[in-house]
A and B are shown apart, each in its own frame.
Chain A
Amino acid sequence: MGSFGTKNTVLPGFGPALGYTIFYLSIIVLIPLSALFFKTATLTWDQFLVAVTSPRVVASYRITFGAALFAASVNAVFGVLTAWVLVRYRFPGRKLIDALVDLPFALPTAVAGITLASVYSPNGWLGQWLEPRGIKIAFTPLGIMVAMIFIGLPFVVRTVQPVLEELDQEVEEAASCLGANRLQTFYRVIFPTMLPAILTGFALAFARAVGEYGSIIFIAGNMPMVSEITPLLIITKLEQYDYAGATAIATVMLVASFVLLLSINLLQKWSRRFAE
């Protein structure tokens, strides 16, 4: 090992490349993000606490995190099923479906938002069937969950898919030879191998859902205390020129996403160790 990596190769440009990377990262990402903490630091502790624990704000956390938890769980179940079906079975249209799974990544959130709102609204394609049966989705917390399921859909599929592709079928044969039935093989052999990837996908979907704004606000109804998500509350405070309040809530959101990012990194390390 050479000192700081340069000695062990004749490749040029390490210094300038790393220098530029750190410089650009700092001016675009790190310094702007630090502005949030500096602005929050100008508040007193009491002001901060009042801003982040007022009843309307706490209700928004409960709605945002609760709906995200539910949506990520639905994504975990159907994500595993979708990944399984795409990897293990052959059926017409499989490749097209495989490509379409990434649609929520590619479709701008505002488009997803107005579309979901119209499909589930009382006279929309699905709303007109659900509403008479007493199921209200648009403009209720259920609508928030539907939007979050949509945007989180690809995460579990895309983390579980490569693990399933690399899973050695000989292990399953061995389990079967040793007398396990198919269900036992799934629970005892396949599922434990997939688990780290499922959890990673779950955490990614959850993190995305918590921060999501565009696809939710059109379908949510945005009633304070009932269906108002935290990101919307930040915008509402900004529009009322309550910069301190907006910043304080944003800090809570940012810390939450740091914690999630850290756990996702740990999960990925765990799943990589599993793969070896």
Chain B
Amino acid sequence: MHATTTSRASKVSEPAAVRWLLISVALAFLALFLLLPLAAVFAQAFDKGWEAYLAALHEPDTLSAIWLTLLTATACVPVNLFFGIVAAWAIAKFSFPGKSLLITLIDLPFSVSPVVSGLIYVLIFGLQGWLGPWLQAHGIRIIFAVPGIVLATIFVTFPFVARELIPLMESQGRDEEEAALTLGASGLQTFFRVTFPNIKWGVLYGVILCNARAMGEFGAVSVVSGHVRGSTNTIPLQVEILYNEYSYAAAFAVASLLALLALVTLAIKTLAEWKIQQGLSINENER
């Protein structure tokens, strides 16, 4: 018995030496490209000690950047969440011609360079743009102001919730919803009592990634912001300014906030993935 298991293992695996060599090379690569930069953020943030760290975060310009970033994320995440759920409902629960084209179009913002994403809003709302003269005549500022930052961020975070929910809802089918409706539930009751509990971890997954990108977007926001200190700077733009002024410790202190956000995002994402996987396998077992 023992002999057969070892010979079976040797047929579908490698000698221990090869295994450990491959593991070491992979881990060395990941340590060099992932862990080292991550450690460097925190090491440099605390380079001048705790007090300097806290002082850097209490700078008025930094506080206003934090405030603007929170505001932008608060504006972007709900609209893209609502869109994501509605789009996933239409795409995953119904069949219609042109569905795969629609999915590709929804994914489009992911393939566009962030710089181009910002530029297109300048072309529409900027002074030289389509609506620029009209907006100026009415005293409305979009580009080089907060609305432009919000719009560009909505664009770059547009697909996150939808692309997570579409495959999840497709895999769940529509039997449960049809049963609820047949039993007399209304459409909204069906959604909140049947569909939503099934997709809640998928929603969390989409929201957390959407939020991370909304708070961390740099290229697109950099094009439309105009970099007015204390008024149109988000956290990533503030990091850039501090870095370019050679206030490295301060730049890394502010950057460490975003690195923490990334770590929290990864933790919640891993939890959500685990819960989604669990939900799917319970579904399979019931069938």
- What is the interface of chain A, defined by CB distance below 8 A to chain B? 1, 4-6, 8-14, 17-18, 20-22, 24-25, 28-33, 35-36, 39, 78, 81-82, 84-86, 88-89, 91, 97, 99-116, 118-119, 124-126, 149-150, 153, 169, 172-173, 176-177, 182, 207, 210-214, 218, 231-232, 234-235, 238, 243, 246-247, 250, 253-254, 257-258, 260-261, 265
A210: nearest residue on chain B (CB-CB)?
A: B113
How would residues 140 to 159 of chain B score, 1 for a CB under 8 Å from any chain A CB and 0 otherwise? 00000000000100110010
Q: Which residues of B contact A5 (CB under 8 A)?
A: 94-96
Docked Cα-Cα span, A116 to B237, in Å, equals 17
B50 in contact (CB, < 8 A) = no
B111 to A17, Cβ gap below 8 A? no
B33 to A176, Cβ gap below 8 A? no
Cβ contact of A173, chosen from B11, B126, B252, cutoff 8 A = B11
B27: nearest residue on chain A (CB-CB)?
A: A97
B111 to A207, Cβ gap below 8 A? yes
A182 to B216, Cβ gap below 8 A? no
A119 to B258, Cβ gap below 8 A? no
Cβ contact of B222, chosen from A12, A88, A115, A235, cutoff 8 A = A235
B70 in contact (CB, < 8 A) = no
B94 to A14, Cβ gap below 8 A? yes
Cβ contact of A109, chosen from B44, B209, B216, cutoff 8 A = B216
Interface size class of B (residues with CB under 8 A): 35 or more
User: Which secondary structure dominates chain A's binding surface?
Assistant: helix
- What is the interface of chain B, defined by CB distance below 8 A to chain A? 8, 11-14, 19, 22-23, 25-27, 29-30, 33-38, 40-41, 44, 83, 86-87, 89-91, 93-97, 102, 104-109, 111-116, 119-124, 126, 128-130, 151, 154-155, 158, 174, 177-178, 181-182, 187, 190, 209, 212, 215-219, 222-223, 235-237, 239-240, 243, 248, 251-252, 255, 258-259, 261-263, 265-267, 269-270
Cβ contact of B119, chosen from A36, A82, A177, cutoff 8 A = A36
Docked Cα-Cα span, A24 to B80, in Å, equals 10
Identify the interface centre among B8, B36, B40, B106: most chain A CB within 10 Å of its CB. B40
A103: nearest residue on chain B (CB-CB)?
A: B34
B152: nearest residue on chain A (CB-CB)?
A: A32
B23 to A89, Cβ gap below 8 A? yes
B93 to A29, Cβ gap below 8 A? no
Docked Cα-Cα span, A34 to B141, in Å, equals 22
Q: Which residues of B contact A172 (CB under 8 A)?
A: 11-12
Q: Which residues of A contact B223 (CB under 8 A)?
A: 235, 238
Q: Which residues of B contact A17 (CB under 8 A)?
A: 86-87, 89-90
B37 to A6, Cβ gap below 8 A? no
- Closest beta carbon of chain A to B135's beta carbon, Å: 14
Docked Cα-Cα span, A207 to B107, in Å, equals 13
Cβ contact of B115, chosen from A91, A113, A176, A211, cutoff 8 A = A211
A10 to B181, Cβ gap below 8 A? yes
Docked Cα-Cα span, A25 to B79, in Å, equals 12
Docked Cα-Cα span, A4 to B99, in Å, equals 11
Q: Which residues of B contact A106 (CB under 8 A)?
A: 209, 212, 216, 261-263, 265-266, 269
- Closest beta carbon of chain A to B30's beta carbon, Å: 6
* A100-B35, A110-B240, A261-B104 given; A235·B115 CB < 8 A: yes
B12 to A100, Cβ gap below 8 A? no
* A81-B29, A106-B266, A107-B259 given; A231·B94 CB < 8 A: no
Q: Which residues of B contact A30 (CB under 8 A)?
A: 105
